[in-house]
């Protein structure tokens, strides 16, 4: 399997390129490579955001002529590549779709495009039906592999699973997980769930421990690779910090 590039290094590289553009006296159009003065009217200059930083990383520069030509050709005001960038429905920021083959855009069942942070905030809302509040609900979604798949664990991270979205934290990362002795990393390989009974039992066991300490938990896809998917039992990040502080 190919190794993933250092995503944070790519983010830092984009940030340095952005600062270089900011300090220059002229702007170079990303579409036609023609330089034009910063004072030009009608130009499009927009900051872009990566998956792991709230600060802007990149900068898109489109000259007035290319912006006008794009609108006349497509009827769209925003002149950037729709495959390379997307605008988050919730925060309104322009985000990088991916650096290699990992995807940072989360598409809802209604077709809304969200960044990882906003997707995590939506998932962490108390009214989210994916939250499991008691052992009966856990038993229901872990009764079989089919019911676990029907529960539809959400894939909220990019391929590579570098970290969970804002608002959620893996129960595996908490002191209680270590204390409970639940050292597991369940996976789905080549499209088929590995160990029907074993997988559901492990997920159920981890959920039970999470409920004991945090009152509610959720099953999400914490990492998706080319041939496997890793599940995470997650709790709200704020609740996890409170538990760590008491510990």
pLDDT in tens, 89-122: 999 999 988 776 677 888 888 889 998 888 888 8
Residue 61 or residue 179, greater confidence: 61
Give the span between the Cα atoms of 155 and 106, in whole angstroms.
8
pTM over 0.85: no
> In the prediction, which pLDDT does 2 show?
38
> In the prediction, which pLDDT does 229 show?
67
Average pLDDT of the segment spanning 151-156: 76
Give the span between the Cα atoms of 104 and 115, in whole angstroms.
7
Most confident of 14-28, 67-81, 181-195: 67-81
- At 21 the three-state DSSP class reads helix
Give buried/exposed letters for 197-235 (b at 16+ CB in 10 A, else e): eebbebbbbbbbbbbebbebbbbbbbbbbeebbbbbbbb
Q: Is 155 exposed, middle or buried (0-12, 13-18, 19+ CB in 10 A)?
A: middle
Torsion over CA of 83, 87, 88 and 91, rounded to 10 degrees? 160
> In the prediction, which pLDDT does 105 show?
85
> In the prediction, which pLDDT does 193 show?
45
**Residue 196 reports pLDDT greater than 50:** no
At 3, the pLDDT band (50, 70, 90 cuts) reads very low
> In the prediction, which pLDDT does 140 show?
93
Q: At 40, phi and psi to the nearest 5?
A: -60, 135
Percentage of the chain beyond pLDDT 70 is 74
Percentage of the chain beyond pLDDT 90 is 13
Residue 51 or residue 196, greater confidence: 51
> What phi-psi label fits residue 169: left (phi over 0), alpha (psi between -120 and 50 degrees) or beta?
beta
At 216, the pLDDT band (50, 70, 90 cuts) reads very high
Residue 123 or residue 238, greater confidence: 123
> In the prediction, which pLDDT does 189 show?
43
Q: At 2, phi and psi to the nearest 5?
A: -70, 140
At 188, the pLDDT band (50, 70, 90 cuts) reads very low
**Residue 191 reports pLDDT greater than 60:** no
Average pLDDT of the segment spanning 48-66: 80
At 42, the pLDDT band (50, 70, 90 cuts) reads low
Are 202 and 240 in contact by the 8 Å Cβ rule? The answer is: no
> Alpha helix locations (H) across 163-195?
175-180
């Amino acid at each position: 399997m190919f190794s993933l590039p250092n995503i944070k290094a790519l983010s830092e590289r984009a940030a340095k390129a952005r600062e270089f553009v900011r300090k220059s006296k002229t702007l170079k159009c990303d579409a036609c490579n023609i330089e034009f003065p910063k004072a030009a009217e009608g130009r499009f200059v927009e900051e872009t955001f990566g998956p792991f930083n709230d600060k802007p990383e990149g900068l898109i520069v489109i000259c007035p002529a290319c912006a006008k030509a794009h609108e006349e050709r497509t009827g769209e005001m925003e002149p950037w590549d729709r495959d390379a960038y997307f605008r988050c429905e919730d925060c309104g920021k322009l985000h990088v779709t991916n650096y290699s083959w990992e995807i940072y855009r989360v598409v809802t069942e209604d077709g809304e495009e969200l960044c990882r942070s906003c997707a995590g905030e939506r998932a962490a809302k108390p009214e989210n039906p994916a939250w499991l509040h008691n052992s009966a609900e856990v038993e229901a979604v872990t009764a079989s592999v089919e019911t676990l798949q029907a529960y539809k664990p959400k894939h909220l991270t990019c391929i590579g699973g570098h970290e969970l979205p804002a608002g959620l934290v893996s129960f595996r990362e908490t002191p209680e997980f270590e204390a409970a002795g639940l050292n597991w990393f369940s996976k789905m390989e080549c499209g088929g769930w590995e160990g029907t009974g074993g997988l559901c039992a492990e997920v159920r066991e981890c959920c039970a421990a999470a409920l004991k300490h945090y009152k509610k938990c959720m099953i999400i896809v914490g990492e998706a690779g080319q041939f496997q998917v890793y599940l995470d039992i997650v709790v709200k990040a704020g609740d996890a910090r409170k538990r760590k502080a008491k510990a």
